[in-house]
């Protein structure tokens, strides 16, 4: 969800107004995904590198996160949405950690959209953390483990690999997001800044995805033969 700061700056507003406005885009995206039957939506809210930002921006983002949990979780629950926060939450303050755990517990058995919020998340952290956790439980795998052994220890170990990756805000990079899981994902980059990312923009991304041919290493002819 990139481009909040620039969106605000262009309007001569403080950066935090961009974050505030970005919440609307997130709301729209969640609703849209629920409506069209998307099973998993994972949004990158705060990277492990974002702590390097000015302290007042970081603390605004933390309190925005807290406020959203307080205000929105009930609505998510009523819409059968399961919320999960992925990332190293041990760096958040105790109250925020508690709110996260409560929100996850409340929505844990919901079967509609699975909404994952990546916060203090990094793709390399995810892989390294998974390796450590796996070896703690299975030291005997140290020299022999396979991708399948590791999979359940990754943050989204129980989820299918993402079909579509969308990055707003014009940058053409992954920025350490879901490195492992994006191996065969389709990429969509748009210059639209996150707060301006509306329903039409999201429909455009989805329709672009629908025109891709996903070969997973095979040839077009093989795919045609399989139909």
- Is 50 catalytic? The answer is yes
Active-site residue identified among 35, 50, 163, 198: 50
2 binds Mg ion (CB under 5 A): yes
C-alpha to C-alpha distance for 121 and 123, rounded to whole angstroms: 7
CB of 2 to Mg ion, least distance (A): 4
CB of 47 to ligand IPE, least distance (A): 7
Question: What is the torsional sign of CA 186, 199, 103, 76?
Answer: negative
Residues in the chain, overall count: 227
Q: Which of residues 64 and 182 has its CB atom nearest to ligand IPE in the complex?
A: 64
Q: Which of residues 58 and 127 has its CB atom nearest to ligand IPE in the complex?
A: 58
CB of 159 to ligand IPE, least distance (A): 23
Task: Name the burial class of residue 185, with classes exposed (0-12), middle (13-18) and buried (19+) by CB atoms within 10 angstroms of its CB.
Answer: middle
The residue number whose beta carbon is nearest to Mg ion equals 2
C-alpha to C-alpha distance for 67 and 84, rounded to whole angstroms: 16
C-alpha to C-alpha distance for 76 and 31, rounded to whole angstroms: 10
Q: Are strands 114-121 and 186-189 parallel, antiparallel or unpaired?
A: unpaired
User: Site size for Mg ion, by CB under 5 A?
Assistant: 1
Select the span of 1-9, 104-112, 178-186, 216-224 touching Mg ion (CB under 5 A). Answer: 1-9
Binding site for ligand IPE (CB under 6 A): 1-6, 19, 46, 50, 61, 169, 194
- Is 126 catalytic? The answer is no
CB of 168 to Mg ion, least distance (A): 9
Who's near 182: CB < 8 A, 6+ residues apart? 161, 162, 165, 174
Active site residues: 2, 50
């Amino acid at each position: 969800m990139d481009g909040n700061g620039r969106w605000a700056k262009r309007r001569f507003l403080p950066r935090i107004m961009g974050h505030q406005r970005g919440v609307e885009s997130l709301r729209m995206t969640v609703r849209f995904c629920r409506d069209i039957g998307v099973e998993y939506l994972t949004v990158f809210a705060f990277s492990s590198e974002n702590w390097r930002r000015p302290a007042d921006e970081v603390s605004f983002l933390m309190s925005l996160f807290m406020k959203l949990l307080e205000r929105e979780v009930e609505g998510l629950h009523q819409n059968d949405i399961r919320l999960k926060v992925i990332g190293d939450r041990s760096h958040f303050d105790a109250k925020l950690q508690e709110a996260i755990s409560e929100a996850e517990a409340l929505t844990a058995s919901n079967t509609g959209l699975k909404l994952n919020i990546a916060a203090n998340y990094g793709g390399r952290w995810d892989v390294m953390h998974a390796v450590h956790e796996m070896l703690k439980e299975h030291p005997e795998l140290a020299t022999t483990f396979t991708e399948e052994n590791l999979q359940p220890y990754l943050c989204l170990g129980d989820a299918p690999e993402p079909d579509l990756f969308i990055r707003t805000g014009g940058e053409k990079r992954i920025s350490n997001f879901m490195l492992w899981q994006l191996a065969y994902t389709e990429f969509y980059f748009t210059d639209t800044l996150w707060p301006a990312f509306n329903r039409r923009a999201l429909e455009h991304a989805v329709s672009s995805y629908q025109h891709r041919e996903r070969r997973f290493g095979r040839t077009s002819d093989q795919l045609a033969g399989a139909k």
